[in-house]
Structure 1
Amino acid sequence: MDRNTQQSSGSALYPPIDPFDQRMLDVGDGHKVYVEQCGNPHGLPVVVVHGGPGGGCSPMMRRFFDPAIWRVILFDQRGCGRSRPYASVRDNTTWHLVADMEHIRETLGIDRWAVFGGSWGATLSLIYAVTHPDRAAHLFLRGVFLMEQRELDWFYGGGAGQFWPEQWDRFCALVPQQERDDLIAAYHRRLFDSPVHEQTRFARAWAAWENALASVRSQGQTGEPNGEYARAFSRLENHYFINHGFLEQDGWIRANLDRIRHIPTVIVQGRYDMICPPRSAQLLAHGMGSSAVLHMVPFAGHALSEPGIASQLVKSVDRVATAQDGLLRFE
């Protein structure tokens, strides 16, 4: 389907495609990570980094890239999606995930690749780039989360709850009043130190709080999250947050931006993102200087599926592909 036909159909995304390669990659520590490739096997390589922590890749994530131009690599992070062991937090830290990305790159014989990630995926993309600045040819970031305490305080300390009081009250209600000064810690005790049925009950509440705020069009009604998925997602996310992303200092990403200021970066941010407010995107753009372009989408929230977000991401990816002048490689 050509671009004009596709856009006239009302969707900014490219048509659905299937992978040409799927594998389980042994990354050590008892973990096997699901990896897939789709698009052009000889095209511009791009790795897609999903959110969470605790989410997983999805077929929709393939559709932000022209399959004739891009070699698209998706993977499920440790403990997520089709990776095994499922929901495991053992040997599961930010630094394990960075090492896994390098393992994937080397296994696939890629020298440099673009990195595409949103929310926690943007966090991990930035940490990967800081750690391996010679391997990230371009960054596409959406719904920026810098893994800073002020961001956790906003979402789990009552800031977002000022806008969504009904959902916030439901999230807090499961925890005794005397523990509500630190909801991440309170949920951690119940997600990890209680029977499985109790873990699932708290996991559903944790996931429902986040899901309710994902879209600017949301009315806060998300339905009941699947118990198995909610337990994996919530335990992994809480595991990362209670450990502050396993970073050695608050503000680690911004403190290390000098290592990646040479990398062309596109930032796409929803103006009304309640999960990752625009301040972080602005701070990142300022810190990156002239290498970064920030697109603030006027009527959009956090979700990758928001029409304005999806449209701007596709335009940005297409622009980079055009700039490569059909060479199908990163110089």
Structure 2
Amino acid sequence: MTPVYPKFDVTQSGHLQVSAVHSIYWEECGTATGVPILYLHGGPGGGIDDSDRQYFDPAHYRSVLFDQRGSGKSTPHASLEENTTWHLLREHLHVDKWIVFGGSWGSTLALAYAESHPDRCLGLIVRGIFTLRREELLWYYQHGANMLFPDYFEAYKNAIPAAERGDLMQAYYKRLTNDDDEDEQLKCADAWSRWEVSTSKLIVDPAYIAKADDPEWALAFARIECHYFVNGGWMRDGQLVEDASKIKHLPITIIQGRYDVVCPAKTSWDLYQALGGSHNKNIDYQIIGDAGHSAHEKTIEQALMDAVEKFKSIKA
């Protein structure tokens, strides 16, 4: 069992102007001659945390992390302009091939990138699989997860007038994109974000819920997520599962919490089957029996560390 690495310094960082609108914050860690590994954060809109780089042995990996458009230290904050799945996948770093690592929305982006550029991937480590299918969105944001967390869902639901609750995502989107009513915008950002952080762990964690206390973080998180979700990620429904055959030759580790309410295990199972299931020896599929969605649950974290350690056998 490999523990997370102690905190270490960023090798280099900066902002990269990727369009006339957006500048993204990026950082590189580890050794310049190491095996490149790309970290894709969740949300969309979540941004990277300092702890995210601690998955990667700085003596072995050249890890690259960045705040996606509108998130974290990237500018402009919470911007939806030129912010789609395919804008996020544009290439600006001069890396020939890399391992791609992502959880939740990061798994969505990892799959979209790998299926678009399989020749640029050495392998994938993905967690809490989310493929942005309509059924997945409705389960969590409309009806399904509320059966398990009715108390926390109440606040999420009550932020929207009763007459508009037949399509909660659309109702939230209308308010989160209304810059003329900042109070309503921030109220909805808080309710949307608080619903997610309240349900992300197997055991509800008040300290984790406190992330939503930061209105700047909550606004980017809720606004960008809702923007992607009402637009279906600018993909056909089911695209990432249907196109999985494009990457079945790659080494892929899938890590899934059994009691993940945000991204239920069925999605990871559907992906696993589309990749060939037990017949495909390139795929390591793990359901973690005592965990929910968050990468910060101990058994999920341990599985991720073990996967990153195992991938050290891959050469650039």
Q: 1:111 aligns with which of 68, 90, 96?
A: 96
Deviation sequence 1:10-36 (CA, Å, 0-9, x none)? xx2111111111011111132111110
Following TM superposition, the consecutive aligned residue runs of length 4 or more in structure 1 with deviations greater than 4 angstroms are none
Task: Tell me, yes or no, if the aligned pair for 2:39 and 2:65 is still in contact at 8 Å.
Answer: yes
Q: 2:191 aligns with which of 199, 205, 211?
A: 205
TM-score by length of 1: 0.91
2 CA distance for matches of 1:195 and 1:178? 20
Task: Measure how far apart 1:136 and its partner are.
Answer: 1.0
Structure 2 counterpart of 1:187: 172
Structure 2 counterpart of 1:49: 40
Task: Tell me, yes or no, if the aligned pair for 2:107 and 2:129 is still in contact at 8 Å.
Answer: yes
Structure 1 counterpart of 2:9: 18
Structure 1 counterpart of 2:284: 293
Bigger mean CA offset, 74-83 vs 168-177: 168-177
Task: Measure how far apart 1:266 and its partner are.
Answer: 0.2
Bigger mean CA offset, 162-171 vs 185-194: 185-194
Bigger mean CA offset, 212-221 vs 23-32: 212-221
Structure 1 counterpart of 2:247: 260
Task: Measure how far apart 1:225 and its partner are.
Answer: 2.1
SS at match of 1:19: coil
2 CA distance for matches of 1:282 and 1:173? 33
Aligned partner of 2:76: which letter?
A: P
Q: 1:219 to 1:103 in 2, by over 3 A?
A: closer
Aligned partner of 1:239: which letter?
A: H
Task: Tell me, yes or no, if the aligned pair for 1:207 and 1:225 is still in contact at 8 Å.
Answer: no
1 CA distance for matches of 2:77 and 2:60? 33
Task: Tell me, yes or no, if the aligned pair for 1:175 and 1:186 is still in contact at 8 Å.
Answer: yes
Ranges in structure 1 where 5+ consecutive residues have no aligned partner = none
SS at match of 1:237: helix
TM-score by length of 2: 0.95
Structure 1 counterpart of 2:221: 233
1 CA distance for matches of 2:262 and 2:307? 23
1 CA distance for matches of 2:290 and 2:162? 36
**C-alpha root-mean-square deviation of aligned residues, in Å?**
1.4
Aligned partner of 1:254: which letter?
A: V
Work out whether 1:88 is the aligned partner of 2:79. Answer: yes
Matches within 5 A, 1:267-282: 267-282=254-269
Task: Tell me, yes or no, if the aligned pair for 2:85 and 2:233 is still in contact at 8 Å.
Answer: yes
2 CA distance for matches of 1:84 and 1:219? 30
1 CA distance for matches of 2:128 and 2:109? 12
SS at match of 2:119: coil
Task: Measure how far apart 1:59 and its partner are.
Answer: 1.3
Matches within 5 A, 1:91-170: 91-99=82-90, 102-104=91-93, 106=94, 110-170=95-155
Task: Tell me, yes or no, if the aligned pair for 1:29 and 1:91 is still in contact at 8 Å.
Answer: no
Q: 1:169 to 1:96 in 2, by over 3 A?
A: same
Identity across matched positions, percent:
39
Task: Measure how far apart 1:219 and its partner are.
Answer: 5.8
